[in-house]
Copies of this chain bind each other. A is one copy, B any other.
């Protein structure tokens, strides 16, 4: 990562396939065991390649996670940058929140591992801060108009984003699709009501 020059980028299609197999395997192993407990051996076993091959493509365990985080972070930023369209506030929020919830559920394994690695690795901590900050700033831009002085839009946005991320990562939404839709609707109502309140009242109370 900061100083990792050894692993060569795959030059052939076969090489790219192997690298992808390793990423997929890592995603699965991290989901099952977490980052700390996962061993390179577990990853290569699932990927069906030999031990040495791993190091042809990735410097170390952190490097695969970093590659997975690349994908997840890009997807998060993409969703964050999509426009908020629609007349009805609640409907708009439902759409936006739905996108985030879907993405978070899809990337749950990577996100959980990312959070775990952040606990001891400054590199992942920094990336997390960066992405969370960008998402919050984007959201803050959308809600700024409705927020009066006294309530920092970044704080409001941070709190609302934390609500969605927190709820989605708790593992309570895995089951039926109806549950997901109902929860998203509830989250949208909470956002809408909360936003209206901070718009109506200033910070002075």
Residues of A within 8 A of B (CB): 1-2, 4, 29, 32-37, 41-42, 45-46, 90, 112-113, 115-116, 119-121, 132, 150-152, 155-156, 158-160, 162-163, 165-167, 170, 172, 182-183, 185-187, 189-198, 201, 203, 205
Contacts and interface: CB of A to CB of B under 8 A. Distances in A.
Contact of A156 (B1, B155, B162, B186): B186
B190 A203 contact: no
Contact of A186 (B90, B170, B198): B198
Copies of this chain assembled into the complex: 4
Nearest to A191: B194
B167 A159 contact: yes
Nearest to A169: B162
A161 to B, nearest CB: 8
Nearest to A45: B1
Contacts of A120: 33-37, 116
A120 B38 CA distance: 9
Given A2-B33, A115-B119, A155-B182, 6 more contacts: A33-B120, A158-B167, A158-B172, A189-B194, A193-B193, A193-B194
A203 to B, nearest CB: 7
B185 A205 contact: yes
A170 B162 contact: yes
Contact of A189 (B163, B189, B190, B198): B198
